[in-house]
Amino acid sequence: MINENVIKQLKDYADINNVPIMLDDGMDFLLDYIKKNNVKRILEIGAAIGYSAIMMCTVGQDITVTTIERDEKRYLEAVKNIKKVGLQDRITLIYQNALDVELDEEYDLIFIDAAKAQSRKFFEKFEKNLVPGGTIITDNMGFHGLVEKDPESIESRNLRQLVRKIKEYIIFLQDNPRYETRFLDVGDGIAVSKHIYE
Ligand code: SAH
Ligand code: MG
């Protein structure tokens, strides 16, 4: 079992260093989903310091996570944290831009928690690695209420673009006939897209 104090340390580190780790209610939802749906093999886009990968492993001894991080400082912190909790045999950490990573394995769950504007790219790139009937969960859908706004009312050009991208992604998910997507108001908003058997 993982020491509660270590988890607390990871959260404190994230807090102090502005690392956007998953919020508690989102985390609770994710862990519950993994348990109830018998998820064993997980691919995560956006490891940050390894917090969510470590948490997902706490659901069961037979869970494995492959996770990708492009930021060197966070990657190094994740390496250290994963060693600290002794999960180096169950968590495979890849230091690279996820858009350049090629994987052959299949996963029961793909958790997208990286650059918000690129969620659709990650979805389209990695859905070939999803087992039939598997699930793709995307974090950061709500963007703290901004998505509800009319993009034209947002002054910053970058923010406007970002909100547009997220809106486009929501429509892409809603209109995707191969997945059934639910949007949940937990954390910063989560999309749960379950692949439909053909
Ligand atoms: N899942 C983590 C939080 C991830 S924060 C947790 O809850 O503990 C998002 C991370 O995605 C950041 O560390 C950022 O560096 C990384 N990221 C963003 N775009 C990426 C990309 N294209 N490839 C790999 N990592 C990316
Ligand atoms: Mg997130």
Of 45, 79, 188, the one to substitute when testing ligand 1's pocket (max ligand atoms within 8 A of C-beta) is: 45
- Please report the DSSP string for 10-66 in residue order: HHHHHHHTT--PPPHHHHHHHHHHHHHTT--EEEEE--TTSHHHHHHHTT-TT-EEE
Report how far residue 14's alpha carbon sits from residue 59's, in angstroms, rounded to the nearest whole number.
Answer: 22
Q: Which numbered ligand comes closest to the C-alpha of 45? A: 1
Q: What are the DSSP calls for 131-151, one per residue?
A: EEEEEEEE---STTTGGGS-G
CATH numbers and ranges of domains, the chain: 4-195 (3.40.50.150)
- In this structure, is the dihedral angle defined by the CA atoms of residues 49, 41, 92 and 128, taken in order, positive or negative? negative
pLDDT tens figures, 57-66: 999 999 999 9
**Spans of the chain below 50 pLDDT:** none
Query: What is the pLDDT, as a whole number, of residue 160?
Result: 86
- Note the pTM of the prediction, 2 decimals: 0.95
| Ligand 1 atom nearest residue 10's Cα | 8
Q: Does 14 sit in the ligand 1 pocket, CB within 6 Å? A: no
- Ligand 1 pocket check for 22: Cβ under 6 Å: yes
